[in-house]
Amino acid sequence: MYQSLLELFNDREAAESITACFQCGACTAACPLNVFNGPKLSPRQFIRRLQLGLPVNIDPYLCMMCRACESVCPRNVKVTKLIQELRKIWFKNNRTPTPLTQALWKIYEDGNPWGYPSRTRGQWLDKLDSNIVKKRSDTLLYIGCVSSYDIRLQRISTAIAKLLLKAGVDFTVLGDEERCCGDPVYHAGETDFLEELVSENMAKFNSLGIRRIVALSPHCYTMFRDIYPRYGGDYEVLHYTEYLAELIDTGKLSIDARLEARVTYHDPCYLGRYSKIYEQPRRLIESVKGLSFSEMSLSKELSLCCGGGGGRILMESKPEERPSNIRVKQAVETGAEILITSCPYCIINFEDSAKVQKTPLKIMDVAELLQAAAGGQDG
């Protein structure tokens, strides 16, 4: 174990991230995990221990990879890169938590971490009039596991598909043949299966002539954009909010929608801090007339993680230690009736917290909002 920690220094980016740290502690103070009384995570301290060659005493699987720490770091330390490297070492040493290893088997067998049957993956498409599955197109709308199966989240999938159809753009979906992008595999710290899965996915994309991927989930989006290129992936990758905003800008899509409601918006970590996509979702929200929009006190770079990143969505957290609880409260404080976001994991966590807190706050995805405001049936 200790030897493998030293090997961290062979990776230039990891080594520099360790040594560059000058121990200011901003990371620890920005970490959403540390607002609870539960287990704490001090990136500063574990980096200091790595610097000094002392044994590391943290659980790297606690981290939600939300990059709140990195966004305040004055020395550009890639904390999540280090956590990821630690996870790889932990995986090799069989220290990965069971829910994650189980999820890997399920992905291997069924193509999704929850073990739903792969043949029902395309059922959400039944709500669409047109058949777009495996149509010849260079643009793929990638739905992702959870939004393919979860009945609640399928509403997002259909909303996006309908909006794209309305805009008259040429695109396709994989239906039953879609498989997990590999996000949980990556975050477990496994590498061999990840390579296999990514290669298979790419082979499928390539055989269909896919050049552009529009991802529904920011997590899949990040995988395609940041991880796939390491395996030779070369796609134009867009989050659907980017794509819709572009369609509106170029006049291909017009939103003639109205909804009288007080709303706020939550920036998903993997969309905001990872990719600096802050404006497009807001522009989409603005396109709906009648809304009164107010920002939460912590927004954009400061957005608070819902708790679902870094594979945490597959693991249990104590109900009193869920960041989504705080986030829902912050949304309520703005006076909002609807908390809008653009990530299925955030929606799962927020709906859960809203239920527990018995608040009437409604949680909606941006695409759902656009659909609902336009009088869509799924609103």
Partner 1 sequence: MVEAVLVIGGGIAGVQASLDLAKAGAKVYLVEKSPVIGGRMAALDKNFPTMDCSICIEAPKLSEVMQNKNIKVLTLAEVVEVRGEAGNFHVKVVQKPRYVTDECTRCGDCVPVCPVILKNEFDVGMGARKAIYLPFDQAEPGTYVIDIENCLNKPPNYLPCNRCVEACGPKCIDFEMREKIHELNVGAIIVAAGSDLFDASLIPEFSYGRHPDILTAMELERLLQSSGPSRGEVIRPSNDKHPERVAFILCVGARDKRFYGFCSRVCCMYSIKEALQLVDHGIKDVTIFYMDIRAYGKGFDEMFERAKRSGVRFVRSRPGRVIPNGDGIDVLYEDTTSGELRKETFDMVVLSTALVPSEELSRLARTLGIEVGEDGFIKSYEIDGDFVGTSRKGIYVCGCASGPKDIPDSVTEAGAAAAKALTHLTSRSVEPEVFEETIDASGEPRVGVFICHCGSNIAGVVDIKTAVEQSKRLPYVVHVEDQKFSCSGAGTKHIENVIREKRLNRVVVAACSPKTHSPTFMRACARAGLNPYLLEMANIRNLNSWVHKNQPVDATRKALDLISMAVAKAVLQNPMTKLSTPVLQKALVIGGGVAGMTAATALAEMGFETHLVEKEHELGGLLRYFREIAPSGLDAQRLLQWKIRQLERSGAKVHLGTEVTEVTGFVGNYHVTLSNGEELDVGAIILATGGKAHEPSWPKIETDRPKVATLLRYETDGIPEDARDIVFIGCVGSRNMSRGCSRYCCQTIIYHALKLRRDGKNVSVVVKDVRTYSRGAEELYRKACEEGVRFIRVGAEKPIEELVQIGDGGITVRDITIGETLNIPADYVILATALDPPGEIAAAQQLRVAKDSEGFFLELHPKLGPVESITQGVFLAGVAQGPKDIRESISQGLAAAAKAAALLTSPQLEKEPLIPVINLQKCTKCMRCAQVCPYGAIRGELRKWIEIIPGLCQGCGACVAECNVEGAITMPGFTDEQLMAQIDAALAENPEEKAIVFACNWCSYAGADLAGILKIQYPPTCRVIRTMCSARVSQKLILHAFEKGAGAVFVTGCWPQDCHYNYANLNTKRRYEQRWLKIIQARGIDPKRLQLHWISAAEAKRFAEKMTEAHEVVMSLKKEKMQVSG
Which residues lie near partner 1 (CB under 8 A)?
9, 15-16, 19-31, 34, 40, 42, 44-45, 48-49, 51-52, 54, 68-69, 71-76, 297-298, 300-302
Of how many residues is the chain composed?
379
- Residue closer to partner 1 by CB (options 71, 349) is 71
- Residue closer to partner 1 by CB (options 53, 117) is 53
- Residue closer to partner 1 by CB (options 27, 180) is 27
Cα 78 → chain centroid: 18
Closest CA to 275 of 322, 228, 314, 241: 241
Closest CA to 224 of 159, 215, 23: 215
- Residue closer to partner 1 by CB (options 301, 337) is 301
One DSSP character per residue, 213-228 reads EEESSHHHHHIIIIIG
| Shortest distance in whole angstroms from residue 64 CB to partner 1 | 15
| Shortest distance in whole angstroms from residue 279 CB to partner 1 | 15
| Shortest distance in whole angstroms from residue 264 CB to partner 1 | 16
| Shortest distance in whole angstroms from residue 1 CB to partner 1 | 20
Angle between the 12-20 and 79-92 helix axes, to the nearest 10 degrees?
120
Q: Are 141 and 171 in contact (CB under 8 A)?
A: yes
- Residue closer to partner 1 by CB (options 23, 191) is 23
| Shortest distance in whole angstroms from residue 326 CB to partner 1 | 12
Phi, psi (5° rounding) for residue 248? -70, -45
Q: Indicate the pairing of strand 212-215 with strand 139-142.
A: parallel
| Shortest distance in whole angstroms from residue 261 CB to partner 1 | 25
Q: Are 66 and 310 in contact (CB under 8 A)?
A: yes
- Residue closer to partner 1 by CB (options 273, 312) is 273
Q: Which one-letter DSSP state was computed for residue 173?
A: B
